[in-house]
Chain A
Amino acid sequence: MPAVTETIETVQSVTEGGYKWGFTTDIETEFAPKGLNEDIIRFISRKKEEPEWLLEWRLKAFAIWQKMEEPRWAAVRYPPINYQDAYYYAAPKTKAKPKSLDEVDPELLRTYEKLGIPLREQAILAGVEGAGEVPAEGRAPVAVDAVFDSVSVATTFKERLEKEGIIFCSISEAVQKHPELVRQYLGSVVPQGDNFFAALNSAVFTDGSFVYIPKGVRCPMELSTYFRINAKSTGQFERTLIIADAGSYVSYLEGCTAPMRDEHQLHAAVVELIALEDATIKYSTVQNWYPGDAEGRGGIYNFVTKRGLCRGARSKISWTQVETGSAITWKYPSCILQGDESVGEFYSVAITNNRQQADTGTKMFHIGRNTRSTIVSKGISAGRGQNTYRGLVRISPKAHGARNFTQCDSLLIGNECGAHTVPYIENRCLTAKVEHEATTSRIAEDQLFYCRQRGLSEEEAVGLIVNGFCREVLKELPMEFAVEAQKLLAISLEGSVG
């Protein structure tokens, strides 16, 4: 209930209908030279003081990538990307670790403030020594990692988590401090040559988050990463690796924003999740990269590979995503259900407005017995937005008793947008059961009029109806994120009616 009020307040406060995260931060940035070649990869690896095996791993990925073709099967259109005309390494120049907030680059702090990160956490993000190990009053603690352009700036609540044996740090730090874990799991779910963008990421990834939850530990707080692309002409290639050991639980949140720029910027992340026996990983994303302007100038190309492996029996991986941003979204968070009785879930809301394009969905690979998967996809198209759900449910011959339920609903606002549903089902097991439901609807004139007759403006009415349409997905989000997501939905659709 309060969330919707907030939605409305937000709609009213955002008067220009603009992208309010569209500021840039003026910070001295260190770049590697433009372009992509082995030397750049060596440069990145050296900058990060990586062990030899990782450099070799990157170079192998680069070699694979050079032989690959950019995929063209998705229902998205964009001009060819010149991969030599981008920076692959950009990092805020840092001096020694600041002792207090006063020593932190004020521009960086202002950025966090604009992103809505509470001040005390800002201090931690800026790397102030010993800042805040106590949660702020009245809110559930959220441990935050922030990735600014290519580099993880800082991670909060580290000590508190360490007490439980939980590792939550940047992947660069993990490479240094927990090389055995990284080496064991990196690329184990998304191998270097998995696809064009994953290969590119494997060659040049610069940072991202690393999480390890030990056996039997229930992570006491939400873990969260904010990704922010700031520098011009940079790609962002973060790499996230989450391992939930037997019987553990973790809920992880990811938020993303970028400045408004009239050029396109590439974001090609890889996320790998591994859930061992009886472990649960809940991964939530609120993706709000800059979508470009109404004419389709600028905006992020979001080409992301996310995959989870339910390795152990009764393990569970649940993806929830709210995709409101980016000029183009190409993203299929997937689950490999290897362990018997393991569970995969995918809850998605994808909005396309103006000239945005989204081709998103999931893949569920049923391998173990009695594995179950649920897919709920809500696509909303407005303006000239194009929204495609593309999903694959594959059931292997040995996955006896496997179950899948898929529900794809599309909502259209206006007459120039499009919604497409492309479900692939490959069932090779007689005892498995696959169900698929799909609907397409429009926000009806009578619904809008009914709301307006009760006093809601047209935009409030659209916000309310859209939030209602997405309810099944939004309720999967952790509380604080759900509020943010509702606001985003309303803002993303501004100007889509009337």
Chain B
Amino acid sequence: MSIMLQIEGLRAAVEGREILRGIDLTVPKGEVHAIMGPNGSGKSTLAYVLAGREGYEVTAGRVTFEGQDLLAMEPEQRAAAGVFLAFQYPVELPGVGNANFLRTALNAQRRARGEPELDAMQFLKEARARMKLLGMPEEMLKRGVNVGFSGGEKKRNEVLQMALLSPRLAILDETDSGLDIDALKIVADGVNALRGPEFSALVITHYQRLLNHIVPDRVHVLVGGRIIRSGGPELALELEQRGYGQVAA
């Protein structure tokens, strides 16, 4: 069993306040792990620390990604290495076309990995194929990045980006929040399409319902910046029925 992501004793602070208070987590290759927890427990903080966001200060611990020291890498290096974060609140880039953004991102990653870049035609072909698979309207390529998108469209756009960039480790931060069942299925299809021995995912969610569609190998409960319990998929059901307080007890 080789390991995709290994987090050991991770502590992190935001604006001098400690949010992550000693996290240990191992995600083997090919596995999907769910992270559940109440609001403010540090789920997004963990996602940002893994992606390398400024202002999220690691005070202790280490993180390795396929054996490399992840915390030593710049955010764009992490992306090129295969770390993808689907944002809880996707960001708007006015005037920047979605297709343009995606191709620029894809080619930046390919260049960093020493792979040939895709020209506009090759890219469009690729993009159309993925969109068809995900049942997304092609028209989304022509719009500005997330500008004027509904909440659901923003989330779907994150999934489209994930599909095109085909990461090795996908971190989905509440990508299911606020989605209707059809949109939820698109998210699940996006993740399931990537599933394989060389892909792992951390699925951050509040609700068990996403996990009906993306069946996780493990479920972790994050409360107060610590993982207080881990278990199999049945733990998600238990959480749904009994609430975090009960599970923590």
Contact = CB atoms under 8 A, between A and B. Distances in A.
Interface of A: 1-2, 4-5, 8, 444-447, 449-458, 460, 464-465, 467-472
22 contacts: A1-B120, A5-B107, A8-B107, A450-B87, A451-B93, A452-B76, A452-B79, A453-B51, A453-B75, A453-B85, A453-B87, A454-B108, A454-B161, A454-B165, A455-B80, A455-B165, A456-B105, A457-B108, A464-B96, A464-B101, A469-B95, A471-B95
Q: 10 closest Cβ contacts across the A-B interface?
A: A468-B95, A468-B96, A454-B105, A471-B95, A455-B109, A455-B79, A450-B91, A452-B75, A455-B108, A452-B76
Nearest to B89: A446
B26 to A, nearest CB: 23
Contacts of A446: 91
B76 A5 contact: no
State which size class the interface on B falls in: 35 or more
A129 to B, nearest CB: 41
A444 B54 CA distance: 12
B117 A455 contact: no
A1 B76 contact: no
Contact of A453 (B79, B95, B99, B107): B79
Given A449-B54, A457-B108, A464-B100, 10 more contacts: A1-B99, A2-B120, A4-B100, A4-B103, A8-B108, A452-B76, A453-B75, A453-B85, A454-B108, A467-B96
Given A464-B104, A469-B95, A455 B90 contact: no
A457 B161 CA distance: 17
A469 B85 CA distance: 25
Interface string B61-95: 00000000000001110111000110100111111
Contacts of A449: 51, 53-54, 75, 91
B233 interface: no
Contacts of A450: 87, 90-91, 93
Contacts of A468: 93-96, 144
Interface in B89-145: 90-97, 99-101, 103-109, 112, 117, 119-120, 144
Contacts of B165: 454-455
Contacts of B119: 2
A460 B108 contact: yes
Interface string B28-51: 000000000000000000000001
Interface of B: 51-55, 74-76, 78-80, 84-85, 87, 90-97, 99-101, 103-109, 112, 117, 119-120, 144, 161, 165
A455 B105 contact: yes
Contact of A460 (B92, B104, B120): B104
Nearest to B171: A453
Nearest to B107: A5
A446 B92 CA distance: 9
A257 to B, nearest CB: 27
B131 to A, nearest CB: 17
A149 to B, nearest CB: 38
Nearest to A461: B76
Residue from A1, A2, A460, A469 with most neighbouring chain B CB atoms (10 Å)? A1
B4 to A, nearest CB: 18
B94 A469 contact: yes
Nearest to A457: B76
A5 B74 contact: no
B93 A1 contact: no
Nearest to A8: B104
A452 B93 contact: no
Given A8-B104, A8-B108, A452-B74, A1 B97 contact: yes
Nearest to A464: B96
Contacts of A455: 76, 79-80, 105-106, 108-109, 112, 165
Contact of A456 (B53, B78, B94, B108): B108
Contacts of A457: 76, 108
Contacts of A447: 91-93
Given A468-B96, A471-B95, A4 B85 contact: no
